[in-house]
Amino acid sequence: MKEYTFKLDDSISQFVEQFQDYGFQDSRALVMTALQRLRSALESAQLQESAALYAELYEEDPDLQALAESGLEEWPKE
């Protein structure tokens, strides 16, 4: 595991020092959880942006719409 050293402003430092109030064993666990949640939120935002771009492309491309429709026609029915 890598080790990092960085400075925090006073309000964030106070928050981290209150790790027990939030149910964490230590400040490391609080910071790790915060970073994991940030990573998840950023990845989710990227996926949403990508989906929006694909939807925009789909709306503007009749050939792509026709291709999708033909794929649905060939999809097995119950």
Q: Give 18-63 pLDDT, tens digit per residue.
A: 999 999 999 999 999 999 999 999 999 999 999 999 999 999 999 9
What is the structure's pLDDT at 11?
Answer: 97
The neighbour count for residue 30, using CB atoms within 10 Å, is: 20
pLDDT confidence band for 77 (50 / 70 / 90): confident
The Cα 30–Cα 34 span in angstroms is: 6
HSE (side-chain half, CA atoms, 13 Å) at 19: 14
What is the structure's pLDDT at 23?
Answer: 97
Q: What is the pTM of this model?
A: 0.71
pLDDT score of 71 more than 90:
no
Return the domain boundaries, the chain.
10-73
Phi/psi at 8 (nearest 5 deg)? -115, 145
